[in-house]
């Protein structure tokens, strides 16, 4: 069908010309979200936290305690940055931010290990850095329990206990909570992709405002002429073109992120793409509705007010079920919340696609409501701006 016979296509071509002539729109659609995504993903390239600095306070000074220090330093999650001579020196290093935690090896550590008793190794954490503290606690626990189990097994073998009995006795000391083998603490899969989506959805909503807010006075009449006086091709030409762009652009950025971070293939890529399409449609509709109801500068502020804190209400950083009623209702009314839940289901939990379909359906329900609201507002305004 030629452009002369298709008002929607004429609007789309006019929209492309507008994009190319406005450097702000060019930045919004191309390099700015890509730059933001690259800077964000650079944080999560390691996927798990590594080499977090800790201090060690060794009151024993034996070969066994020194071996424990070497094993702590060899763990991938922590690094022994200081061997303190006193608790005051170690705590001062924590307050200065030089280390995140202090491991205190008690006096008579070697004697207690050789006797088969369980010496208490102290771990003093800076809980203000919750993420680092939790990672350090896991690694220190793993190293200490493994070292104790090895020493205990050696003593039992020395007394003549059969190896099978030694293995059975040491079984409770085996802990499978190391970050490299626990996808639940994979920051790239759980938090990195979520933050990437949270950033992209802000750009989508801003474009929804910009695509509609620019049609004022002469722009409105030019838009009307391109659409042959009908609001439907005007809406399709604007939001339809924007939806195609952001759907493809977002999938390309997300796909590149998965390759760069080395994440495994999700359980249902097609459903993920469908859910992303619903998220794009919903936030384009939200931006368009705000642009129809409010002046442009207030509409942009409205997008910022709704999109900027959306991650905090999505249930990723704080459980949605634990929120009070009003914040929880606000979080559940955000399309981003449901897309991040879909992302968690398909990437982290890797559930069957049948179980994730309702989440994708919610996204398209949001899209239908917001785009439908924009269509009603556009049709109403169109009657008052006939050329």
The predicted-structure confidence for 256-266, as pLDDT tens digits, reads as follows 998 888 887 78
At residue 181, the pLDDT reads 34
Residues 287, 179, single domain; the answer is no
Following CA atoms 368, 287, 189, 321 in sequence, which dihedral angle do they give, to the nearest 10 degrees? Answer: -70
Q: Which among 61, 48, 55 is positioned nearest to 79, based on CA atoms?
A: 55
Residues 178, 246, single domain; the answer is no
| Residue found by looking up tokens 């939200």 in the block | 286
What span, in angstroms and rounded, lies between the C-alpha atoms of 204 and 288? 11
What span, in angstroms and rounded, lies between the C-alpha atoms of 305 and 302? 5
Q: What is the CA radius of gyration of the chain?
A: 29
Domain final residue, candidates 167, 184, 201 = 184
Residues 259, 353, single domain; the answer is yes
Q: Which residues pair with 84 in a beta bridge?
A: 57
Residues 159, 240, single domain; the answer is no
Residues 116, 177, single domain; the answer is yes
In the chain, the number of structural domains is: 2
Domain final residue, candidates 134, 156, 184 = 184
Residues 328, 248, single domain; the answer is yes
- Candidate from 47-56, 82-91, 322-331 with smallest mean pLDDT: 47-56
- Candidate from 190-199, 218-227, 311-320, 367-376 with smallest mean pLDDT: 218-227
- Tens of pLDDT, residues 128-186: 777 787 778 888 888 877 776 666 655 555 566 665 554 544 443 333 333 333 344 56
Query: Per-residue pLDDT for 26 more than 70?
Result: yes
Q: Which among 102, 75, 108 is positioned nearest to 89, based on CA atoms?
A: 102
Q: Where are the alpha helices (DSSP H) in 42-129?
A: 63-74, 87-95, 109-115
| pLDDT (mean) for 58-69 | 87
Domain final residue, candidates 132, 155, 184 = 184
At residue 227, the pLDDT reads 61
Q: Strand order of the sheet with strand 122-125?
A: 78-84, 52-58, 101-105, 122-125
What span, in angstroms and rounded, lies between the C-alpha atoms of 292 and 286? 10
DSSP string, 275-291: HHHHHHHHHHHHHHHHH
Residues 63, 126, single domain; the answer is yes
> Hey, what are 302's tokens?
């409205």
- Candidate from 5-19, 34-48, 148-162 with smallest mean pLDDT: 148-162
Q: Residue 81, SS3? A: strand
Residues 67, 159, single domain; the answer is yes
Residues 66, 196, single domain; the answer is no
Residues 34, 111, single domain; the answer is no
Residues 35, 91, single domain; the answer is no
Which range marks the domain in which residue 160 is found?
52-184
Following CA atoms 125, 129, 135, 139 in sequence, which dihedral angle do they give, to the nearest 10 degrees? Answer: -30
Q: Give how far Cα 220 sits from Cα of 12, 14, 232, 337, 384, Å.
A: 15, 13, 14, 34, 11
Residues in Cβ contact with 123 at an 8 Å cutoff, skipping those fewer than 6 apart: 101, 102, 103, 104, 136, 137, 140
Over the chain, what is the mean pLDDT? 82
Q: Which among 200, 182, 178 is positioned nearest to 190, based on CA atoms?
A: 182
Q: What is the CATH number of the domain that holds 172?
A: 3.40.1710
At residue 9, the pLDDT reads 81
- Tens of pLDDT, residues 211-226: 888 775 555 666 666 5
| pLDDT (mean) for 354-383 | 92
At residue 182, the pLDDT reads 39
Query: Per-residue pLDDT for 300 more than 90?
Result: yes
Residues 334, 201, single domain; the answer is yes
Which of the 8 DSSP states describes residue 5?
G
């Amino acid at each position: 069908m030629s452009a002369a016979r298709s008002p929607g296509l004429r609007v789309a071509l006019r929209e492309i010309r507008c994009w190319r002539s406005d450097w702000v729109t060019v930045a919004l659609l191309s390099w700015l979200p890509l730059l933001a995504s690259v800077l964000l993903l650079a944080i999560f390239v390691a996927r798990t936290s590594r080499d977090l600095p800790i201090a060690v306070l060794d009151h024993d000074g034996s070969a066994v305690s020194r071996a424990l220090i070497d094993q702590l330093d060899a763990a991938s999650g922590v690094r022994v940055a200081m061997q303190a001579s006193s608790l005051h020196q170690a705590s001062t290093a924590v307050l200065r931010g030089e280390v995140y935690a202090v491991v205190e090896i008690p006096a008579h550590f070697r004697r207690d290990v050789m006797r088969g008793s369980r010496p208490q190794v102290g771990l003093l954490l800076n809980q203000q850095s919750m993420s680092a503290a939790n990672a350090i606690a896991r690694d220190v626990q793993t190293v200490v329990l493994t070292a104790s189990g090895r020493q205990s097994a050696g003593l039992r073998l020395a007394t003549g206990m059969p190896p099978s009995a030694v293995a059975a006795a040491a079984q409770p000391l085996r802990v499978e909570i190391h970050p490299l083998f626990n996808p639940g603490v994979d920051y790239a899969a759980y938090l990195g992709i979520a933050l990437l989506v949270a950033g992209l959805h802000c750009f989508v909503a801003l474009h929804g405002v910009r695509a509609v807010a620019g049609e004022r006075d002469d722009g409105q009449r030019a838009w009307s002429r391109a659409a042959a006086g009908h609001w439907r091709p005007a809406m399709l030409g604007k939001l339809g073109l924007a939806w195609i762009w952001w759907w493809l652009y977002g999938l390309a950025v997300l796909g590149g992120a998965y390759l760069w971070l080395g994440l495994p293939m999700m359980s249902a890529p097609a459903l993920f793409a469908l859910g992303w399409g619903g998220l794009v449609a919903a936030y384009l509709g939200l931006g368009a509705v705000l642009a129809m109801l409010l002046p442009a500068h207030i509409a942009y502020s409205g997008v910022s007010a709704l999109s900027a804190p959306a991650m905090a209400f999505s249930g990723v950083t704080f459980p949605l079920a634990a929120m009070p009623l009003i914040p929880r209702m606000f979080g559940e009314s955000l399309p981003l919340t449901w897309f991040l839940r879909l992302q968690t289901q398909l990437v982290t939990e890797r559930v069957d696609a049948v179980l994730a379909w309702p989440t994708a359906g919610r996204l398209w329900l949001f899209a239908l409501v917001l785009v439908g609201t924009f269509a009603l507002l556009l049709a109403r305004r169109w009657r008052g701006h006939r050329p």
